[in-house]
Amino acid sequence: MAAKIFETVGKLGLGLAIAGGVVNSALYNVDAGHRAVIFDRFRGVQDIVVGEGTHFLIPWVQKPIIFDCRSRPRNVPVITGSKDLQNVNITLRILFRPVTVQLPRIYTTIGEDYDERVLPSITTEILKSVVARFDAGELITQRELVSRQVSEDLTERAATFGLILDDVSLTHLTFGKEFTEAVEMKQVAQQEAERVEKAEQQKKAAIISAEGDSKAAELIANSLASAGDGLIELRKLEAAEDIAYQLSRSRNITYLPSGQSVLLQLPQ
């Protein structure tokens, strides 16, 4: 009797285990920010995109493919040429995510690693096209315009593959060794030219000042020769008058008439 009971319990436990395994294999979870595409062994990729949560599927017949639909960053370095044939090293930072409703098409035509297959190629294509419209100097002075043009063209190109670009920015832009050396030599030459020009201006100013001093001395000598000591006496009187005027305006100067010391309570 006991043996039959144990046998029945064992069969029941085995049945429950098998049923639990079947139920567990028929459930799958989609985390926050993710979406799922269902692949059916008989009907292929389904057009329905499954949202977040726990869902059922047919075990061994259907399989979920989970996609991360949150914005993710990617840096793409590119070496290209400018309009004036200068080598340009550019790094583009892209913040991208897939279009949710297009996930079945993305999985069917590109695959799960769609970003590896699409972004480097279209980024290189757009950067080469845009940079070729500007020369090296314009790439530096009009960087904002270049970045905006790259963003617009790349966003439009990525949309054909079912991708959304939330942000596109140029994070690195340098030129080849020859161009960098040429710029440095130009800066040195410009600084030397400015130094020479400044020295010439100072020289001209010194000459003009010396000529003015010489002319003034000549005029004074002529005046003394014609007027004698009278001019010197006139200049002394003018200087004394100016000194007296300045002292009269000072608060620290007090004038006392001669012989009026009684104002200070002093004996005569």
Average pLDDT for consecutive 10-residue bins of the chain (268 residues)?
59 53 73 93 91 89 93 92 86 94 94 92 93 88 91 94 94 76 61 78 82 74 66 72 75 60 50
By the 8 A CB rule, do 36 and 28 touch? yes
- 193 burial type by CB count under 10 A (0-12 exposed, 13-18 middle, 19+ buried): exposed
CA atoms within 13 A on the CB side of 220: 8
Q: What angle do CA 148, 154, 158 make, to 5 degrees?
A: 150
Q: What angle do CA 212, 217, 218 make, to 5 degrees?
A: 95
Q: Is the pTM of this model over 0.75?
A: no
By the 8 A CB rule, do 63 and 32 touch? no
Domain ranges of the chain: 2-68, 72-175
**Quick one: pLDDT at residue 256?**
57
**Quick one: pLDDT at residue 230?**
65
Given the candidates 3.30.479.30, 3.90.25.10, 3.40.50.150, 2.60.40.1840, the CATH classification of the domain at 72-175 is 3.30.479.30
